[in-house]
Amino acid sequence: MNFAIAVYAAPYSHQSPDTAYQFALAALNAGHSITRIFFYHSGVFNASGLSIPPQDEINIIERWAQLSKKFDVELAVCIAAALKRGIIDEAESRRYELTQHNIHPAFQIVGLGQWVDAMITADRVLVFGP
């Protein structure tokens, strides 16, 4: 089965990002595929390259990055939601003449069209969030 997954909640403020990760990992380990994992609304904070949790807590951002690398899954971040919340990649930093960017390299900023495409091509669509 092919899944499209959306994550709407920020890490460490809601259980849903970790639940989405656990589902994605289990599905991929069971031989299923994931078209795209789309981070929307406050879920874009999962893409922050500056988040450093305490040593006794999980690092959900690094978990997403490892999952993406191991299974070649796209971690897509909604551009409108990201810009509004200060999650910026290098290209957007240049476009808005900013001096820095902060998105984790495993994630990429995309338009809402990529989420629509994922929903069209997936067998099942799952949304994790408040």
> Known catalytic residue: 78?
yes
Which strand (E) or helix (H) includes residue 82?
A: helix 79-84
Amino acid identity, position 29: N
Instruction: Give the torsion sign (CA, 126, 128, 129, 130).
Output: positive
Please state, in angstroms and rounded to a whole number, the distance separating the CA atoms of residues 125 and 121.
10
The residue annotated as part of the active site, out of 78, 82, 87, 106, is 78
Catalytic positions are: 78
